[in-house]
Structure 1
Amino acid sequence: MSEPINVVVTGAAGQIAYSLLYQLASGSVFGQNQPINLRLLDLPFAMEPLQGVVMELEDLALPILREVIPTSDPEIAFKDASAAFLVGAMPRKEGMERKDLLSANVKIFKVQGEALDKFARKDVKVLVVGNPANTNALICSHYAPSIPKENFTAMTRLDQNRAQAVLASRLGVQVDKVKNVIIWGNHSSTQYPDASHAIVNDQSVPIAVNDDAWLNGVFVETIQKRGAAVIAARKNSSAMSAANAAADHMRDWFNGTKPGQFISMGVVSDGSYGIPKDIVFSFPVTIKDKTYTIVQGLEINDFAKTKLAITVKELEDERTEAHSVLMP
């Protein structure tokens, strides 16, 4: 077996982490031959319930889980980290405005960015799950200047998974038969779920669906509003599905994407598709040797350009507000 790697999960006493930790400890993310040390970071008041989580991890008796350290100290959590799941954030409540969520979370991700910069490995792979994920990832990157910007990502895999599931249901196929759905932009209600390049059983999804009005209307709106619908139903944000998406994201980042397939990740824009630089924007990517590459050359029609402009504006507004709160 390889040497153990240190994996950080923040908000470790919360619901998303509770669903995520088993996947990490069981080897479904980094592999059965990759031992891990878990570093569980949460606030001081959460240390007691976090001890219960630690006991459960011990009771799983899983062979690749070598060490579990619960802590409220970022230095201990991020020391020599190879992968970090930044889950801990002020949760979005029903009726909460996004700007209020940003203001509450921006300070958290400044502290975590500084800790990553000081204590983590320089090749650490950082996935921001806590919302607003895209801008939180930008803040983290800003405060960790010694770590490459491309090592900071935001999770839009949950939206991709939702989109695949909706299309599979519409087409009456297994969800794994739908590939290459794209989530453009922000992990918010402005995101653009794009099925125009998706395939199902080697056929174009738009041809298979044969209903552009549905694809540009009901489909887009369903994915954009799915998070809010979950909150309305269970009075809490998505947890089980978010944890699963986080595992999917990091698994592909470490192990690579399959030939002919791409996934969606929020990454620091390099200007592809005319998207402004210095925002974290969800693009289609392929991954090889733990390095992602934005898929180039996809046709963007006028409808898509309109949707992209909306989500770009929101991300630029979030960036401006984040600067006003913390950044020099």
Structure 2
Amino acid sequence: MASPIKVCVTGAAGQIGYSLVYMIGSGAVFGADTPVSLHLLDIPPMMPVLNGVCMEIADCALPCVREVVATDDPSVAFKDIDAAFLVGAMPRKEGMERKDLLAANVKIFKVQGQALDQHAKKSVRVLVVGNPANTNALICSQYAPSIPKENFSAMTRLDQNRAQAQIAARLSVPVSDVKNCIIWGNHSGTQFPDVRHATVAGKSVYDAVNDEAWIRGDFITLVQKRGGAVIAARKLSSAMSAAKAACDHMASWWQGTPEGSYVSMGVFSDGSYGTASGVMFSFPVTIKDGKWSIVQGLPIDDFSKGKLEVTGKELCEERDDALAVCSAAQ
């Protein structure tokens, strides 16, 4: 039996963590025959709740789970880990602006970056889920200089899943038939859900939908505002779907993408497609042997270029605001 993969989940007592730890323990991420050691981190007031989560993990009798470490100490949680799901953050609440989230959460991810730098394996793969995810991932990486920048990513897979589901519903097909929906840019209201290069059962989604006004209008708005719609309905932010997307993201990163398929990940921009460099920008990527590569050469029309510019501008503004918060806190 292989040695367990050490996996940290922060905010593990929260709503996303509650779904996420089960999915990881079930083998859905790293493989049904791959043992895992779960390192669960939360803040001191949440430890009684986290202990209850640990009881439930035990009661699930998951064959993949070899060990569960529950702690409020980042040095313990991040010790020699192979993968991290950074979920713990102040959740977005109804009426809250992204800048409010940014100021509160950037400090959390600065501290966690420093702890990862000191205690995690240098090969650790870090997925940031807590919002604003792209900029939190940027800050986390900045304060973990000994870990390669390509080992950090931000989650836009939830947006990709939302886009895929909306196309499937529009065409009355199984969601598994829809491939290669792209999320460009930020996990925010400026993101650009793009189906120009997507297929349904091997055919063009654009042609199958045959409604450019909807694709360029209501579809984009629906995906951009889906998180807010969930909050309005549940009075809580997306949890089950966010956990599923985090698992999808890490599973792709760990196991690779099928030939001819790509997925959306927030990764360090190298300026591809005219985007601003030095921000965490969501691109279509392929993954092989744990390494992601930005898909190159996709034709981008003027409409799409305009969308990429808007979301890139927001990411640059967020980056500058976040760095200012970090500097002020020193």
TM-score by length of 2: 0.98
Partner of 1:184: 184
Q: Which runs of 5+ in 1 are unaligned?
A: none
Partner of 1:315: 315
Taking only aligned residues, the RMSD between alpha carbons, in angstroms, comes to: 0.7
CA distance in 2, matches of 1:55, 1:156: 31
CA distance in 1, matches of 2:234, 2:59: 29
Partner of 2:286: 286
Q: Give 1:3 shift.
A: 0.7
Residues 163 and 181 of structure 1 are in contact (CA less than 8 Å); yes or no, is this contact kept in structure 2? Answer: yes
SS at match of 1:81: coil
Matched, 1:131 2:131: yes
CA distance in 2, matches of 1:19, 1:63: 17
Aligned residues, how many? Answer: 328
How do residues 49-64 of structure 1 correspond to structure 2 at under 5 angstroms?
A: 49-64=49-64
Q: Give 1:290 shift.
A: 0.5
Matched, 1:7 2:2: no
How do residues 75-154 of structure 1 correspond to structure 2 at under 5 angstroms?
A: 75-154=75-154
Q: Give 1:62 shift.
A: 1.4
1:172-218: per-residue Cα shift (whole Å, max 9, x none)? 10001000000000000100000000001111111111110000001
Partner of 2:173: 173
Partner of 1:246: 246
Q: Identity over the aligned pairs, expressed in percent? A: 66
CA distance in 1, matches of 2:158, 2:199: 19
SS at match of 1:167: helix
Q: List structure 1 runs of 4+ shifted beyond 2 angstroms.
A: none
Amino acid aligned to 1:108:
I
How do residues 125-274 of structure 1 correspond to structure 2 at under 5 angstroms?
A: 125-274=125-274
Q: Give 1:277 shift.
A: 1.2
Q: Give 1:236 shift.
A: 0.7
Q: Give 1:27 shift.
A: 0.7
SS at match of 2:88: coil
Amino acid aligned to 2:176:
D
Q: Give 1:34 shift.
A: 1.3
Q: Give 1:299 shift.
A: 0.7
SS at match of 2:217: helix
SS at match of 2:296: coil
Q: Which runs of 5+ in 2 are unaligned?
A: none
Residues 2 and 33 of structure 1 are in contact (CA less than 8 Å); yes or no, is this contact kept in structure 2? Answer: no
1:249-291: per-residue Cα shift (whole Å, max 9, x none)? 0001000001100000000111111111110000000000010
SS at match of 1:326: helix
1:97-154: per-residue Cα shift (whole Å, max 9, x none)? 1101000001000010001000000010000000000000000000000000000000
CA distance in 2, matches of 1:300, 1:246: 28
Amino acid aligned to 1:83:
A
CA distance in 1, matches of 2:197, 2:43: 43
CA distance in 2, matches of 1:28, 1:155: 17
Amino acid aligned to 1:292:
W
